[in-house]
Chains A and B, each alone.
Chain A
Amino acid sequence: MSTQGAGAAAAPTPKYTKKDFESDQDVRWCPGCGDYAILSAVQKSMPDLGIPRENIVFISGIGCSSRFPYYMNTYGFHTIHGRAPAIATGLRVARPDLKVFVVTGDGDGLSIGGNHMLHVLRRNVNLTILLFNNRIYGLTKGQYSPTSELGKVTKSTPMGSADRPVNPLAYALGCGATFVARTVDRNIQHMEEMLKRAAAHRGTGFIEILQNCNVYNDLAWNVIYDKTSKLAYELRLEHGKPLVYGPPDARKAVIMDGVTPKVADVKDVPESALWIHDEKNVNAAKILADLFAPNFPVPIGVLEAIEAPIYEEVMLEQEQRAISDRGAGSIAKLLVSGDTWKIG
């Protein structure tokens, strides 16, 4: 049985276009919402996955972001708040032949569903998670979220929030995630690239998508939307390439000073001291996850991609072993096994 997600069907996968993945439902996000761009990028990248449409399933929780499955012409299940990772785990265990995507929000995935997020990542279930991070509760009309910055003034926190935000990338890495990436709703091409990489990953592929909620938290990610600031702060991660960023006339490098990252002018850093990005280096990824403007750049791209045992594969392997060692189960035999006695 294939556990990779590609269809076991003998027929060749049809040549799809983006249109094949658009459902007949009217999209109901607010005009200008970043979710539209994400939807478009996902639909565009689907044909390149080479997976028959019927073998693709989108599972979501609750939130604006979680409306996503309705708009995809694949199988889809819009479930309950925070539980999509658990539902997707059950689905993968039942159906390891399917390609499963989880769509969640910062509230859905990191607040009410934070525990499931931890466990799906540590189990390394073979699926792809798209976490739309708009740093706000969109659907419930604008309360602060677990990724909102400390002191965030919202309807539920008129004097500013009192709790420090969680960093989705650092959280995912701390949970033992095997693939962690970040992308931005305003960069369709990069989103597509990340989606394809995450989807091809064996195990849980986790992508944080910085998303704009133009109604309740407009420009929360302006640091990488605004042209000049983007140029100043966006750090494109590329495996095997040094961590350098910034405008051509003021290139900067992130380097390690002992065990502390720091920013230096590229011209002052000898080539041997440059930090070369290595997706296999989990410790390095954990440092990268914490970098952010204004003191550091904003890393975009794949922070980490490693291999680890996959939960449902181990489970199926045990099942196969049990069957090959002792034969398939038979209830008739089981019922009369062990101590029995005859009457009459």
Chain B
Amino acid sequence: MSETAAPVGAAKARRELQRAVIRFAGDSGDGMQLTGEQFTTESAWAGNDIATLPNFPAEIRAPAGTLFGVSSFQLQFGSQRVYTPGDRLDCLVAMNPAALKVHLRDLKPGGLLIVNTAAFEKRNLDKAGYAQNPLDDPALAERYRLHKVDMTGLTHKAIADLKLDTKEKDRTKNFFALGLVSWIYTRPLEPTLEWIGKKFTKSADIAEANTRVLKAGHAFGETAEFFEEAYTVEPAEMAPGLYRAMTGNRALAWGLLAAAERSKVPLVYGAYPITPASSVLEELAMHKRFRIRTIQAEDEIAAVTAAIGASFGGAIGITCSSGPGIALKGEGIGLAVTAELPLVILNIQRAGPSTGMPTKTEQADLMQALYGRNSESPVVVLAPATPGDCFYVAYEAVRIAAKYMVPVIVLSDGFLANGSEPWLIPDPATLPPIDIQFRTEPEGFFAYLRDPATLSRPWVRPGTPGLEHRIGGIEKQDVTGNISYDPDNHDHMVRTRAEKVRRVAQEIPPTSINGPATGDLLVVGWGGTYGSITAAVERAQAAGKSVASVHLRHLNPLPPDLGHILREYRKVLVPEINSGQLVRVLRAEYLVDAVGFNRVRGLPLASEEILEDINQLLGSKA
């Protein structure tokens, strides 16, 4: 097979697909994240529904060519609802041997495998641990539709006349890959061309190089004979409206901004950088115009306590971290519990314990959120289901925190944080109001006088004449707020703080059930596994199984109708990226014989495997 392109006259036939799963993989220096993001934008333009999964090494500059230095970006796009970035790949682009080695096992047999042959030389093969060049093994071409393309060489050819050094030229080869795959899947190049135009205003040569290489990749697909087929994926049927791509962390930040605007109360955000939470801080720091004040604190404890200080001052205190940082915030959260001040704690969960795998996802901090503090320290716990849902959950967290004078923990995760989806832009006017009333009336004031409906105490801004008062971490008498060591009062306060959190159930809408209201199996999930679970359940339903799913946004308190719902099914399955946390809560709370489906690999759950489990559970139903 020749690698040089032989021009062919007629445009090739294009086969229509309902969905496709593609992964771009290469060295961390190969620009795979950017390639994937641009391909995502192109697919959004094409009107597809999309889910993405960026995956990069924790090391900032991992040594080139190594297995642990491989960076990848996966997306699934389709003409129907796409719930996940996909389990197995239809197409893998491997820019070097290490990328091939790490990712090949995820490619479907018969899948499209595109490799950059130029990178398959001795040094890179050694680093990837290949004794022989895998491209020479005929089995590879038998098992997959292998396309060997000298991307580096073709890239250099396309820009030979430009005054850039070899390194700079090399660096544009990801645009060749992008152009080629865009051709294969009939993606519009316009968004990428526009992006290049905007991004490289400082260097006309680099803009020109990227443009030419992108087009060269595209033309290569068109003309090279060996691409026997190309594909189209028709626009998905999606709710009409204006869309944008949304990542989870940006959605969290924007949800907070929306809450600040709506509540008319300034927001003070204390955080200490940690993967994968830092981008929320960085995003908010760009939006000073919203009167959001970001403090990059000296540590996690200062971050949460500065937020509490701000709440004491009548602002909305927010803090954000990932597991290790949340652990440090525990004592501070307890202070907010007893001081009964609003506080929002965002936890972008990552694989642990300890440092664990910082760039990999997990949902193993549920118990930490529910119980990970000393003594009886109840807080509200919410979890977003998709990247775009992070917007609504952040907003809701502020609303509940202020209404009930209570800390609210939001459990996002690394997958939601960096993953993106096409997001129907809401009209902010349709968001529920956040109505904050500071107490100003001295007559009859007590610091722990409670609202009968919410049990929340009055929020007073220091500076209000006649309401000078002291609060603190020592137990206090209900109503007066005076220090109290009275045993019965303490018991009463413990119960009152718990009851206040329970009352948040008033805010929870009826649980929506995906599937029949009664049947053989209910699959219960929470957080970032929404896509994997929904995809699996819908496939089971399509196969005629009596299966429904419920995805919990409210983890504390739980929805008031959940107990009833659980009893309407013969079996209950709880898939989680942990060793069984929600499942324990459900068993304890409702005495149901729920079983877990647990994989803790730092990756989203594979819907394929959930489906297998569903089938197995149902198979053994007799």
8 Å CB contacts to A: which residues of B233-250? 235, 238-245
Do B243 and A75 touch across chains, with their CB atoms under 8 A apart? no
Q: A87-B305, A87-B308, A339-B41 are in contact. Are A78 and B467 (CB under 8 A)?
A: no
Contact partners of A74 in chain B: CB under 8 A: 468
Answer whether residue A135 sits at the interface, using C-beta atoms and an 8 A cutoff. Answer: no
Q: Mark A111-133, 1 if CB is under 8 A from B, else 0.
A: 00001101100000000000000
B252 CB to closest chain A CB (Å) equals 14
Which of B306, B429, B472 is the one whose CB lies under 8 Å from A69?
Answer: B472
CB-CB nearest in chain B for A77: B312
Do B240 and A90 touch across chains, with their CB atoms under 8 A apart? no
- Interface size bracket, B side: 35 or more
Do A318 and B288 touch across chains, with their CB atoms under 8 A apart? yes
Stretch at the interface among A54-62, A193-201, A213-221, A225-233: A54-62
Answer whether residue B462 sits at the interface, using C-beta atoms and an 8 A cutoff. Answer: yes
Stretch at the interface among A35-43, A155-163, A249-257, A326-334: A326-334
CA of A57 to CA of B293 in the docked complex: distance in angstroms? 20
Q: Mark A85-119, 1 if CB is under 8 A from B, else 0.
A: 01111111111011000000000000000011011
Contact partners of A332 in chain B: CB under 8 A: 427-429
Answer whether residue B561 sits at the interface, using C-beta atoms and an 8 A cutoff. Answer: no
Answer whether residue B464 sits at the interface, using C-beta atoms and an 8 A cutoff. Answer: yes
Candidate in A86, A329, A340, A341 with the most chain B CB atoms within 10 angstroms: A86
Do A94 and B428 touch across chains, with their CB atoms under 8 A apart? no
Answer whether residue B332 sits at the interface, using C-beta atoms and an 8 A cutoff. Answer: yes
Do A94 and B289 touch across chains, with their CB atoms under 8 A apart? no
CA of A332 to CA of B469 in the docked complex: distance in angstroms? 39
CA of A163 to CA of B286 in the docked complex: distance in angstroms? 45
Which of A54, A70, A342 is the one whose CB lies under 8 Å from B241?
Answer: A342
Do B301 and A86 touch across chains, with their CB atoms under 8 A apart? yes
B457 CB to closest chain A CB (Å) equals 14
Answer whether residue A30 sits at the interface, using C-beta atoms and an 8 A cutoff. Answer: no
Do B261 and A7 touch across chains, with their CB atoms under 8 A apart? no
Do B425 and A335 touch across chains, with their CB atoms under 8 A apart? yes
CA of A327 to CA of B315 in the docked complex: distance in angstroms? 21
B103 CB to closest chain A CB (Å) equals 28
Do A25 and B295 touch across chains, with their CB atoms under 8 A apart? no
8 Å CB contacts to A: which residues of B253-309? 254, 257-258, 261-262, 266, 268, 270, 287-291, 293, 295, 297-299, 301-303, 305-309
CB-CB nearest in chain A for B267: A94
CA of A137 to CA of B490 in the docked complex: distance in angstroms? 27
Which of B241, B262, B293 is the one whose CB lies under 8 Å from A315?
Answer: B293
Contact partners of B239 in chain A: CB under 8 A: 343-344
Which of B315, B331, B473, B483 is the one whose CB lies under 8 Å from A94?
Answer: B315
CB-CB nearest in chain A for B270: A90
Answer whether residue B494 sits at the interface, using C-beta atoms and an 8 A cutoff. Answer: no
CA of A340 to CA of B44 in the docked complex: distance in angstroms? 9
Contact partners of B41 in chain A: CB under 8 A: 339
Answer whether residue A79 sits at the interface, using C-beta atoms and an 8 A cutoff. Answer: yes
Which of B313, B334, B339, B464 is the one whose CB lies under 8 Å from A91?
Answer: B313
Answer whether residue B310 sits at the interface, using C-beta atoms and an 8 A cutoff. Answer: yes
CA of A72 to CA of B335 in the docked complex: distance in angstroms? 21
B423 CB to closest chain A CB (Å) equals 9
Answer whether residue B474 sits at the interface, using C-beta atoms and an 8 A cutoff. Answer: yes
8 Å CB contacts to A: which residues of B137-172? none
8 Å CB contacts to B: which residues of A301-334? 315, 318-319, 322-323, 326-332, 334
Do A94 and B463 touch across chains, with their CB atoms under 8 A apart? no
CA of A23 to CA of B481 in the docked complex: distance in angstroms? 14
CA of A323 to CA of B293 in the docked complex: distance in angstroms? 13
Q: A328-B289, A331-B428, A341-B45 are in contact. Are A86 and B302 (CB under 8 A)?
A: yes
Do A80 and B468 touch across chains, with their CB atoms under 8 A apart? no
Answer whether residue B471 sits at the interface, using C-beta atoms and an 8 A cutoff. Answer: yes
Do A54 and B305 touch across chains, with their CB atoms under 8 A apart? no
8 Å CB contacts to B: which residues of A5-25? 7, 9, 23, 25
CA of A87 to CA of B289 in the docked complex: distance in angstroms? 24
CB-CB nearest in chain A for B308: A87
Do A119 and B243 touch across chains, with their CB atoms under 8 A apart? no
Do A340 and B243 touch across chains, with their CB atoms under 8 A apart? yes
8 Å CB contacts to A: which residues of B356-370? none
Do B470 and A23 touch across chains, with their CB atoms under 8 A apart? yes
B53 CB to closest chain A CB (Å) equals 20
Contact partners of B291 in chain A: CB under 8 A: 319, 328-329
Candidate in A23, A54, A74, A118 with the most chain B CB atoms within 10 angstroms: A54
Answer whether residue A236 sits at the interface, using C-beta atoms and an 8 A cutoff. Answer: no
Do A87 and B309 touch across chains, with their CB atoms under 8 A apart? yes
A313 CB to closest chain B CB (Å) equals 12
Answer whether residue B465 sits at the interface, using C-beta atoms and an 8 A cutoff. Answer: yes
Answer whether residue A176 sits at the interface, using C-beta atoms and an 8 A cutoff. Answer: no
Answer whether residue B466 sits at the interface, using C-beta atoms and an 8 A cutoff. Answer: yes
CA of A74 to CA of B465 in the docked complex: distance in angstroms? 10
Which of B242, B298, B462 is the one whose CB lies under 8 Å from A341?
Answer: B242
Contact partners of B471 in chain A: CB under 8 A: 76-78
8 Å CB contacts to A: which residues of B301-359? 301-303, 305-315, 317, 331-332, 334-335, 339
CB-CB nearest in chain B for A312: B293
Contact partners of A322 in chain B: CB under 8 A: 288-289
A28 CB to closest chain B CB (Å) equals 9
Answer whether residue A182 sits at the interface, using C-beta atoms and an 8 A cutoff. Answer: no
A88 CB to closest chain B CB (Å) equals 6
Which of A53, A69, A83, A323 is the one whose CB lies under 8 Å from B305?
Answer: A83
CB-CB nearest in chain A for B312: A77
Do A90 and B268 touch across chains, with their CB atoms under 8 A apart? yes
Contact partners of B254 in chain A: CB under 8 A: 331, 334-335
Q: A87-B312, A116-B298 are in contact. Are A329 and B290 (CB under 8 A)?
A: yes
Answer whether residue B515 sits at the interface, using C-beta atoms and an 8 A cutoff. Answer: no
Which of A9, A75, A86, A340 is the one whose CB lies under 8 Å from B470?
Answer: A75
Contact partners of B339 in chain A: CB under 8 A: 77
Contact partners of A341 in chain B: CB under 8 A: 44-45, 47, 242-244
CB-CB nearest in chain A for B467: A54
CA of A335 to CA of B290 in the docked complex: distance in angstroms? 13
B84 CB to closest chain A CB (Å) equals 21
Answer whether residue B482 sits at the interface, using C-beta atoms and an 8 A cutoff. Answer: yes
Contact partners of A79 in chain B: CB under 8 A: 305, 308, 335, 472-473
Contact partners of A97 in chain B: CB under 8 A: 463
Answer whether residue B191 sits at the interface, using C-beta atoms and an 8 A cutoff. Answer: yes
CA of A271 to CA of B265 in the docked complex: distance in angstroms? 60
Do B244 and A73 touch across chains, with their CB atoms under 8 A apart? no
Answer whether residue B563 sits at the interface, using C-beta atoms and an 8 A cutoff. Answer: no
Candidate in A83, A94, A327 with the most chain B CB atoms within 10 angstroms: A94
CA of A79 to CA of B302 in the docked complex: distance in angstroms? 12
Answer whether residue A52 sits at the interface, using C-beta atoms and an 8 A cutoff. Answer: yes
Do B462 and A90 touch across chains, with their CB atoms under 8 A apart? no
Answer whether residue B426 sits at the interface, using C-beta atoms and an 8 A cutoff. Answer: yes
Contact partners of A119 in chain B: CB under 8 A: 297-298, 302
Contact partners of B306 in chain A: CB under 8 A: 86-87, 89-90, 93
Do A329 and B289 touch across chains, with their CB atoms under 8 A apart? yes
A64 CB to closest chain B CB (Å) equals 13
Do B335 and A69 touch across chains, with their CB atoms under 8 A apart? no
A261 CB to closest chain B CB (Å) equals 33
Which of A59, A115, A319, A330 is the one whose CB lies under 8 Å from B309?
Answer: A59
Closest 6 CB pairs of A and B: A344-B240, A78-B472, A90-B306, A90-B309, A329-B290, A87-B309
Q: List 21 A-B contacts (CB under 8 A).
A: A54-B462, A57-B462, A75-B463, A77-B470, A77-B472, A78-B474, A80-B305, A86-B298, A87-B312, A88-B309, A89-B306, A90-B270, A90-B309, A91-B309, A94-B293, A97-B463, A119-B302, A318-B288, A341-B44, A341-B47, A344-B238
- Chain A contacts to B: CB under 8 angstroms: 7, 9, 23, 25, 52-55, 57, 59, 62, 69-70, 72-80, 83, 86-95, 97-98, 115-116, 118-119, 315, 318-319, 322-323, 326-332, 334-336, 338-344
Q: A55-B463, A331-B257 are in contact. List 7 more A-B contacts (CB 8 A).
A: A54-B464, A59-B309, A70-B472, A77-B312, A90-B308, A119-B298, A330-B261
